[in-house]
Amino acid sequence: MPAPEFPPFEAPQRILMGPGPSDVHPRVLAAMARPTVGHLDPAFVGLMDEVKQLLQYAMRTQNQLTFPISAPGSAGMEACLVNLVEPGDGVVVCRNGVFGGRMRSIVERCGGRVIPVDDAWGAPVDPGKVEDALKANPDAKLVAFVHAETSTGALSDAKALAELAHAHGCLVVVDAVTSLGGVPLEVDAWGLDAVYSGSQKCLSCAPGLSPVSFSQRVIERVQARSTPVQSWFLDLGLVMGYWGGGAKRAYHHTAPVNAIYGLHEALRMLAEEGLEAAWARHRHHHQALAAGLEAIGLPLRVAAEHRLPQLNVVELPEGFDEAAARRRLLADYGLEVGGGLGDLAGKVWRIGLMGSACSRRNVLACLAAVDDVMRGALDGAGQGRGVAAALATYG
Ligand X SMILES: *Cc1c(COP(=O)(O)O)cnc(C)c1O
Binding stretches for ligand X (CB under 6 A): 20, 72-74, 77, 99, 146, 150, 175, 177-178, 198, 207
| Nearer residue to ligand X within complex by CB, 98 or 296 | 98
Q: In angstroms, rounded to a whole number, what is the distance separating the alpha carbons of residues 91 and 98?
A: 18
Q: Sort 55 into a burial class: Cβ within 10 Å, 0-12 / 13-18 / 19+.
A: buried
Strand 335-336 versus strand 15-16 pairing type: parallel
Residue 136 parent element (H or E): helix 127-136
Quote the least distance from Cβ 231 to ligand X, whole Å: 15
Which residue's CB atom is positioned nearest to ligand X? 73
DSSP three-state, residue 179:
coil
| Nearer residue to ligand X within complex by CB, 116 or 207 | 207
| Nearer residue to ligand X within complex by CB, 203 or 218 | 203
Are 241 and 249 spatial neighbours (Cβ–Cβ below 8 Å)?
A: yes
Whole-Å CA distances, 139 to 87, 128, 168, 222: 13, 18, 9, 18
Quote the least distance from Cβ 102 to ligand X, whole Å: 7
| Nearer residue to ligand X within complex by CB, 175 or 336 | 175
Q: Phi first, then psi: what are they for 63, rounded to 5°?
A: -50, 125
Quote the least distance from Cβ 357 to ligand X, whole Å: 14
Quote the least distance from Cβ 359 to ligand X, whole Å: 20
Quote the least distance from Cβ 310 to ligand X, whole Å: 10
| Nearer residue to ligand X within complex by CB, 58 or 374 | 58
| Nearer residue to ligand X within complex by CB, 24 or 177 | 177
What is the Cα 8 distance to its own chain's centre? 31
Quote the least distance from Cβ 230 to ligand X, whole Å: 19
